[in-house]
Amino acid sequence: MSSSQVPVWPLKVVTVSETSSLLSSVPMGSFDAEGNYIPRTVTEDNLVGTDLNDLVGTSVLEFEDGDLVSGIVVKIDHDEVLLDIGFKSEGVIPARELSIRNDVDPAEIVSMGERVECLVLQKEDKEGRLVLSKKRAQYEKAWATIEELKNRDEVVKGVVIEVVKGGLIVDIGLRGFLPASLVELRRVRELQPYIGKTVEAKIIELDRNRNNVVLSRRAWLEETQKEQRGDFLNNLKPGERRHGVISSVVNFGAFVDLGGMDGLIHVSELSWKHIDHPSQVVQVGQEVDVEVLDVDFSKERISLSLKATQSDPWQVFADSHAVDQLVYGRVTKLVPFGAFVQVGDGIEGLVHISEMASHHVEAPEQVVQAGEELWVKIIELDTARRRISLSIKQAADGGEVSAEYREAFGSHAYDAEGNYIGNFDYGDFTPETEAQAAWAEYATEAQKSPDEASEEEPVSQEPAVSEEPALSEEPEA
């Protein structure tokens, strides 16, 4: 801008009378005969009525241990931070007092020029330094906030900073413990991926005296998903089948993720066979088809069945077998009143001691041993009670062989009643199992003509493996 463009403001002329109104009425001094100025000597106490401590308090900082102070970060070292709080010396924040996190880098917590709030730990340590704690100040403020949130039944939000035994540590201004069982709606096995994630959780336990805060993310998830779960349960009907994934295996069963909620397959609904532990049937991550047994809306529980989606082995056996048929089995257990014989996959029948031999038997061990394989005859099928009665004694008399054995050796060799009518050429057949070998021997004996049989020693028309050991005759009564 040129000099010609410089703006000119109007000037106000101040008169003597106007100036005198701006001056104090008290004479400022006097002049001697020569015209020299003599200043006025101040003899009055112009601080009368003012508290000296009040005046000093505005310029000198006073505090006690435990007080909260605020200051500016002026220096950051690897093991401490210096804070200017207006005191005679700068305050020191040790690295361990910067954060509730362990082994932190001070430069990651604060920055130069940042204003932070601290708690006074010690006005003067052995080195004459003022010791402060940012962590304690944060802790004190956090407790007040968390107690208020707990009273209002609200959620807290924080970053997962550590994995510890049994759960996670969440930074909520202090160290909140989140048990592993409460991280998700179902228990998670791998917690490391949660490090650094921000989570929301409900406060379920709060004890300031013990410095104990327990959180539950599952409670928050359940609350936020309550409406969604209600819709999911309403769409579940007993009897329908659903596809899911095994999410957890426990002693009493297995939990299945159905895509919205977990349902339980009780151990009794995992298999038609007896099992000692659910892990014998299913594994975590396995995909399964299950049938819905029951939906409990009040407890939000879903009961499922795996075996209901599978054929009942016992019913299959009952449908494909009949009384008086011969089957091949293995002795699984001896009891005082007889022996249990497995005749199918998970199917056992009982040979009562009275059906073990044509003569009197004192104990099952006199006739069979556990693990022995032999032919037995079905003498009763009780579908209502799911029981099968078998007989070793009656199997010695021969009879119709069950269909699975007829099919194994060619149905052309039997008549409509299941009696053997074909010529069995053992050389053309190689048995693959002991059951086939036993039947092969039985069939070979059965095809001999009466004349051939009479030329040899009499042969019992029973499977060779079912022959009983010779027993000493009982003394006559």
The residues of the chain scoring below 50 in pLDDT are 1-23, 56, 59-60, 411, 424-427, 449-450, 453-454, 456-477
Model pTM? Answer: 0.41
Q: Same domain for 420 and 396? A: yes
Look at residue 438 in the predicted model and tell me its pLDDT: 59
The verdict on residue 85 lying in a domain is yes
- Measured CA angle at 388 (ends 350, 462), to 5 deg: 70
Q: 185 burial class (0-12, 13-18, 19+ CB within 10 angstroms)? A: middle
Q: Same domain for 460 and 318? A: yes
Tell me the three state secondary structure of residue 400.
strand
Tell me the sheet residues that pair with 156. 201
Backbone angles phi, psi at 288, to 5 degrees: -140, 155
Residue 271, number of CB atoms within 10 A of its CB:
18
Domain boundary among 135, 163, 181: 135
Look at residue 434 in the predicted model and tell me its pLDDT: 59
Look at residue 473 in the predicted model and tell me its pLDDT: 38
The verdict on residue 144 lying in a domain is no
User: Where residue 184 sits, what CATH number does that domain have?
Assistant: 2.40.50.140
Q: Same domain for 323 and 445? A: yes
User: Two tokens at 440?
Assistant: 């092969």
The verdict on residue 52 lying in a domain is no
Q: How large is the C-alpha radius of gyration of the chain?
A: 48
Domain boundary among 224, 240, 269: 224
Beta pairing class for 262-266 and 287-296: unpaired
Look at residue 471 in the predicted model and tell me its pLDDT: 34
Q: Same domain for 171 and 244? A: no
Q: Which of 403, 409, 402, 463 is nearest to 438 (CA)?
A: 463
Q: Same domain for 126 and 255? A: no
Q: Which of 118, 113, 117 is nearest to 131 (CA)?
A: 118
To which residue do tokens 């096995």 refer?
A: 189
Number of structural domains (the chain) is 4
Q: 56 burial class (0-12, 13-18, 19+ CB within 10 angstroms)? A: exposed
Q: Same domain for 192 and 242? A: no
Q: Same domain for 96 and 183? A: no
Q: Same domain for 104 and 130? A: yes
The verdict on residue 209 lying in a domain is yes
Look at residue 464 in the predicted model and tell me its pLDDT: 38
Look at residue 428 in the predicted model and tell me its pLDDT: 54
The verdict on residue 47 lying in a domain is no
State which residues form the domain around 374.
Answer: 311-470
Look at residue 407 in the predicted model and tell me its pLDDT: 59
User: Two tokens at 99?
Assistant: 């954060």
Measured distance CA(76)–CA(73) in Å, rounded: 8
- Measured CA angle at 384 (ends 379, 388), to 5 deg: 25
Look at residue 476 in the predicted model and tell me its pLDDT: 38
The verdict on residue 159 lying in a domain is yes
Tell me the three state secondary structure of residue 249.
strand
Measured distance CA(173)–CA(149) in Å, rounded: 13
The verdict on residue 40 lying in a domain is no
Look at residue 194 in the predicted model and tell me its pLDDT: 93
Tell me the three state secondary structure of residue 291.
strand
Look at residue 231 in the predicted model and tell me its pLDDT: 76
Q: Same domain for 260 and 338? A: no
Q: Same domain for 216 and 254? A: no
Q: Same domain for 323 and 452? A: yes
Task: Note the pLDDT tens digit of each residue in 15-51.
Answer: 444 434 444 555 556 667 776 666 666 555 555 555 6
Look at residue 293 in the predicted model and tell me its pLDDT: 93
Domain boundary among 83, 105, 135: 135
Q: Same domain for 120 and 203? A: no
Q: Which of 254, 257, 260 is nearest to 230 (CA)?
A: 260
The verdict on residue 453 lying in a domain is yes
DSSP for 13-36?
PPPHHHHHTTS-SS--EEE-TT--
Look at residue 16 in the predicted model and tell me its pLDDT: 40
